[in-house]
Amino acid sequence: MTTKPAPATTSTTAPVSPNRRRGSAKGGSRRHGEGLAGYVFLSPWLLGLMAITAFPMLFSLYLSFTNYDILSSWEFVEWVGFENYWDLFVNDQTFRHSVQVTLIFAFVAVPLKLAAALGVALLLNRETRGVGLFRSLFYLPSLLGGSVALALIWRAMFSGDGAFNDFLGLFGITGQPWVNDPDWALETLMVLAIWQFGAPMVIFLAGLKQVPTELYEAASVDGAGKIRQFFNVTLPMLSPVIFFNLVLETINGFQGFTAAFVISNGTGGPVDSTMLYTLYLYTKGFTEFQMGYASALAWVFLIAIGLITVLFFSTGRFWVHYSDGDND
Amino acid sequence: MATEAAPMSTADGSGSAARRRAAGGTARGVARVAVLVAILVVVLYPLIWVLGSSLKSPTEVASNLSVIPRDPTWANYPDGWNYLSNISFGRFFWNSTVISMATVVANAVSCLLAAYAFARLRFRARRFWFAIMIGTLLLPSHVLIVPQYIMFNSFGWIDTPLPLIVPKLLATEAFFVFLMVQFMRGIPRELDDAAKIDGCSPFGVFRYVIVPLARPALVTTAIFSFIWTWNDFLTQLIYLPSVESYTVPIGLRLFIDSTGQTSLGPMFAMSVLSLLPVFLFFLAFQKMLVQGINTSGLKG
C-alpha cells in the first residue's frame, strides 16, 4: 500500500499509553465524540431528508385530499376527502389509459432492452480484440439517450420523411409517419429505450466475468453443449445480476418522461398513445394546475411502484440463485 | 442446478475444453466480430445521421438521403445559435454550464460528508438512517415535484437556479451517497486506526485519509452529476419559465413547435452542440477514472 496519510501525524495529542487509550474508547468519552461527529457529518443529509423529501411527501399526501390549485390563495382550499382518488379510479379515462400505456411501455421495452444487453454482453465476453472500445461505444447511447436532443433526433428520424423511412425505401417499403401514428408512436419510444441497452450491458459483462470457468469446463465434460451451458450455467450464475438490472430498469421504465414529452410536444398524443404516467402527472399539475389531483396521482404512483418492487423481491426468491452457500 | 456440476471440475477436463474452443475458433471469432460491428453500425447510426444532417443545406436535407452531405455547410450552426431573434443559444449554454457545475460541486461535497458518516462513524440510529437512505434511492422523483414546486414557489425561488442547486447541497442524490459508502467500505480500516493512533479526530480521519482516498468515487460522482444535470429536462422545465433563464434542453424545446424544412437544419446543429459536452466527458471518462485510481494510492 502506497498510501499517504502522512500529514495526519502533524496533529497534536499527548502520548497516551495503549491501555488507557483502549479504556477511554470503551468508556464512552471517545465514542460519544464519534457519535457527535456522526451527526455533524450527517446533518446536511438529515436536513435534506426532512426539508426536501419527508416534508414534501407528507404535504403532497395532504394536498391529495384537497382541491388545491396554485392560482387561488390558501383560503379557498377545500378538504375534499377521497374525492380525487374516487375520480381517478372511477371517472378518469385518461388515467386508466396512461396506466395502460405505462405498463405496456415498461413490460415490453425493459425485457427487450435487457435481452439486447445480455446478448451483446455474451458476444463481448470472449477474448476479442477491442472489447474495451466496443463496450465504450455501446455504452454511449445510455449517456446521451435521456436528453431532449436525442428525443428531437428520434422524432425527426421516425417522421414521415425521416431516415427510418428512407431506409425502408431501400427495400421498396413505403413507411409512414411513425411518431404521428397512434398505433406506432409508443413503439418509437420503446425503440429509443432499447437503443440505450449499454448501461445494463456493462453490468452484465461484469457479472459474466464472475462466473468461474471451471463450471463451463465441468459442464462440457458432462457433455453439455453451448446452449445447455447457457441455460444451466450462465443464466443461474447471472441471475442476481439479471434481477438487479430488471428491478432498476423497470423502475426507471415507469419514469420515462423526456422522450414522451418531446415526441408528443407535451400532449401525450397522438390520441394519448404516448401519455406515460409521469407525463399525465405533469399535465394535471403544471398545465391544468390541479395540484391536489396531481398529488393524488403521485401517491398512487408511489404505492404502485412500492408494490411492484415488493412483488419483484418476493418472486426473486424462486429464481435468483445466490452462490454464497456453495455445494449444496 | 448449476452448482451440481461444480465438484466435477478436474484437471483433465480443462484440456479437452480448451482444444474444442481452439478448433473452429477463428471462423466463429470472425463471425462474432462481424455481428458486433453490424450492431455497432445500427447503434451509432442516429448519431452519425444527425451529424451529417446538421451539415446539410435546407434543400439538401430534403433531397439527399445519404448520411454524408454532398455540399457540407456550417450555416445551420449560426442559424441555430441565433434562432431566437432576441437571445442566443450562448445564453442557454451558459445557464446550463452554471447549473451543472454548481450541481457537481454540491453533490460531491454533501454526499461525501453523508457517506463518511454512514461508512465509518458509529452513532445512534445509524442503521435506521441508512435504511431510510436506501429507501429514498427507490423513491421516484416525480412524486415530489408538486409539493416541492409549491414550496420553492413560496420562497420566491422560481426562475432562479436555487430549486435546482439547493437540494443537491443537502445530499438528496441518494445514489451518490450509496456509491461513496460502497467505495469507502473498500478503504482499509487500518488506515483510519493508524490516523487515530496518531491523534486524529473523526474530522482528521476524514480530512487526511478518506478525502484523498475517495477521489475515484468523487470523480465518478462528478461525471455523472454533470451528465445527468446537463440532460435533465423536467425540473428545469418547471423551475425556469422565462427565456433568459432557459437551459439548453429547454431552449431545444423551442424547435418542437417549428415545422418545415428550414428549421430542421438549425435544430440538428443545436442538438449536436448540446450533445457535445456529454460526448467529451465520455471520451475523458475512462482516462480520468484510471488516473483517479492511480493517484489515490489504492493501486498498492
Do B66 and B207 share a structural domain? no
Q: Write down the pLDDT at residue A6.
A: 37
Asked if the C-beta of B20 comes within 8 angstroms of chain A's C-beta atoms, the answer is yes
Give me the domain span that covers residue B71.
21-81
Say whether both B76 and B103 belong to one domain: no
- Looking up residue B113, the CATH number of its domain turns out to be 1.10.3720.10
**B201 and B64 in a common domain:** no
Cβ neighbours of residue B112 under 8 Å, at least 6 residues apart? B180, B210, B211, B214, B218
Residue B270: inside a domain = no
Task: Tell me the one-letter amino acid at B231.
Answer: N
Please name the residue of chain B whose CA is at the shortest distance from the CA of residue A252: B140
Q: Which residue do the cell numbers 483510519 mark?
A: B192
Q: Does the distance separating the beta carbons of A326 and B6 come in below 8 Å?
A: yes
Residues B105 and B170 in one domain: yes
In this structure, the answer to whether residues B59 and B161 fall within a common structural domain is no
Interface check B189 vs A, CB under 8 A: no
How confident is the model at residue B99, as a pLDDT? 97
Query: Which residues of A fall within a CB distance of 8 Å from B271?
Result: 149-150, 152-153
Partner-chain contact A60 B144, CB within 8 Å = yes
Grid cell at residue A182: 397512434
Any domain includes B227: yes
- A53/B136 CB distance under 8 A: yes
Phi, psi (deg, nearest 5) at residue A69: -130, 145
**Could you give the angle at which helices A148-157 and B248-257 cross, rounded to 10 degrees?**
30
pLDDT at B286: 60
Whole-angstrom Cα distance, residue B138 to residue B63?
48
A132 CA: distance to closest CA in chain B (Å): 10
- End residue of a domain, out of B81, B106, B131: B81
Range A196-213 burial, b when 16+ CB lie within 10 A, else e: bbbbbbbbbbebbeebee
Domain identity same for B242 and B95: yes
Chain A residues 128-167 within an 8 A CB cutoff of chain B: 128, 134, 136-141, 143-144, 146-150, 152-157, 161, 163, 166
Is some CB atom of chain A closer than 8 A to the CB atom of B227?
yes
pLDDT tens readout for residues A74-88: 778 889 999 999 999
Let me know whether B55 and B97 are in one domain: no
Residues B76 and B106 in one domain: no
Least confident of A291-300, A302-311, B28-37: B28-37
What integer is the mean pLDDT of A304-322? 89
- On whether both B42 and B125 belong to a single domain, the answer is no
C-alpha cell at A291: 395540484
Q: In this structure, what DSSP letter does residue B171 have?
A: T
The lowest-confidence range among A6-20, A202-216, B141-155 is: A6-20
- pLDDT-based confidence at residue A30 (cuts at 50, 70, 90): low
- Report the residue from B3, B8, B150 with minimal CB separation from A326: B3
The rounded distance, in Å, linking the Cα atoms of B193 and A22 is: 12
Question: In this structure, are B188 and B135 located in the same domain?
Answer: yes
- A contact test, residue of B116, B142, B295 with most A CBs within 10 A: B142
Look at the alpha carbons of A272, A298, A144, B238 in this order and tell me if their dihedral is positive or negative: positive
The minimum CA-CA distance between A131 and chain B, rounded to whole Å, is 10
ipTM above 0.90, yes or no: no
Q: Could you report the per-residue pLDDT of A110-144, keeping only the tens digit for each?
A: 999 999 999 999 998 876 677 778 888 888 898 89
Which residue does chain A place closest to B117, by CA atoms? A38
- Chain B contact for A261 (CB, 8 A cutoff): yes
- In sign, the C-alpha dihedral spanning B69, B75, B80, B84 is negative
Mutate one of A17, A36, A39, A52 to test the B interface: name it (highest B CB count within 10 A): A52
B241 found inside a domain: yes
List for chain B the helix, strand, coil content (%; round to 5). 75, 0, 25
B36, B122, B133 member nearest A123 (Cβ): B36
Distance (Å, whole) CA B171 – CA B186: 21
Q: Do B113 and A236 touch (CB under 8 A)?
A: no
Which pLDDT score, from 0 to 100, does residue A210 have?
83
- Confirm whether B44 is domain-assigned: yes
Indicate yes or no: CB of A44 within 8 angstroms of CB of B169.
yes
The conformation of residue A264, written as its DSSP 8-state character, comes to T
Q: How far apart are CA A12 and CA B124, in angstroms?
A: 28
Judged by a CB distance cut-off of 8 A, whether residue B231 touches chain A is yes
- Among B37, B146, B180, the residue to mutate for chain A (most A Cβ within 10 A): B146
Q: Which of A:36-95 have CB within 8 Å of B? A: 36-39, 41-42, 44-49, 51-53, 55-57, 59-60, 63, 70
Contact of A142 with A136, CB cutoff 8 Å: no
Kindly state whether residue B132 falls inside one of the protein's structural domains: yes
| Cell digits of residue B36 | 458486433
Q: What is the three-class DSSP state of A267?
A: coil
Closest CA to B273 of B70, B40, B93: B93
When divided into structural domains, chain B yields a total of 2
B278: chain A residues, CB-CB within 8 Å:
143-144, 147
B155 CB near a chain A CB, below 8 Å? no
Q: Name the nearest CA neighbour of B283 among A139, A195, A197, A202.
A: A139
Q: Does B63 touch chain A (CB under 8 A)?
A: no
pTM given for the model: 0.85
Residue B141 lies in a domain: yes
Question: Which amino acid is residue A270, in one-letter code?
Answer: P
The amino acid sitting at B240 is L
In a 3-state reduction of DSSP, which class is residue B87?
Answer: coil
Query: Do A295 and B121 lie within an 8 Å CB cutoff?
Result: no
H helices within A49-169, ranges in order?
A: 55-63, 83-86, 93-124, 131-144, 148-157, 163-169
Same domain, B33 and B134: no
For residues A113 and A193, is the Cβ–Cβ distance under 8 A? Answer: yes
Q: What is the largest CA-CA distance in chain B?
A: 77
Phi-psi region of A225 (alpha: psi -120 to 50; beta: other; left: phi over 0): beta
All domains of chain A, ordered by start, with CATH?
87-319 (1.10.3720.10)
Query: Per-residue confidence of chain B (300 residues) as pLDDT tens digits?
Result: 333 333 333 334 444 444 444 445 678 788 888 999 999 999 999 999 999 999 998 888 777 778 888 888 899 999 999 988 889 999 999 999 999 999 999 999 999 999 999 999 999 999 999 999 999 988 888 889 999 999 999 999 999 999 999 999 999 999 899 989 988 988 999 999 999 999 999 999 999 999 999 988 898 899 889 999 999 999 999 999 999 999 999 999 988 876 555 688 899 999 999 999 999 888 886 655 434 333 332 322
Residue B280 inside a domain? The answer is no
In order of A86, A88, A197, A292, the CA distances from A91 in angstroms are: 8, 6, 38, 16
What is the distance in angstroms between the Cα of B14 and the nearest Cα belonging to chain A?
6
- Burial code (b: 16+ CB inside 10 Å, e: under 16) for B16-30 equals ebeeeeeeeeeeeee
Query: Closest Cα to residue A117, out of B43, B121, B167?
Result: B43
Picking from B171, B190, B200, the residue whose alpha carbon sits closest to that of residue B112 is B171
Q: Does B231 contact A163 at a Cβ distance shorter than 8 Å? A: no
Instruction: Say yes or no for a CB contact (<8 Å) between A328 and B227.
Output: no
Could you give the CA distance from residue A24 to residue A22 in angstroms, rounded to a whole number?
5
B150 inside domain: yes
* Nearest CB to A255 within list B2, B142, B231: B142
**A39:B123 CB<8 A:** yes
Pick from A147, A288, A301 the residue to mutate for testing the B interface (most B CBs within 10 Å).
A147
A318 — contact with chain B (CB < 8 Å)? no
Is A301 in the B-facing interface, judged by CB distances under 8 Å?
yes
C-alpha–C-alpha distance, residues B267 and B262, integer Å: 9
Vertex B82 angle, CA B255 and B50, to 5°: 50
- Total Cβ atoms within 10 A of residue A181: 17
Number of Cβ pairs closer than 8 Å across A and B?
328
Claim to verify: residue B26 and residue B155 sit in the same structural domain: no
Report the residue of chain A nearest B35, measured CA to CA: A123
Nearest chain A CA: its distance from B182 CA (Å): 16
- In chain A the first and final C-alpha atoms are separated, in Å, by 38
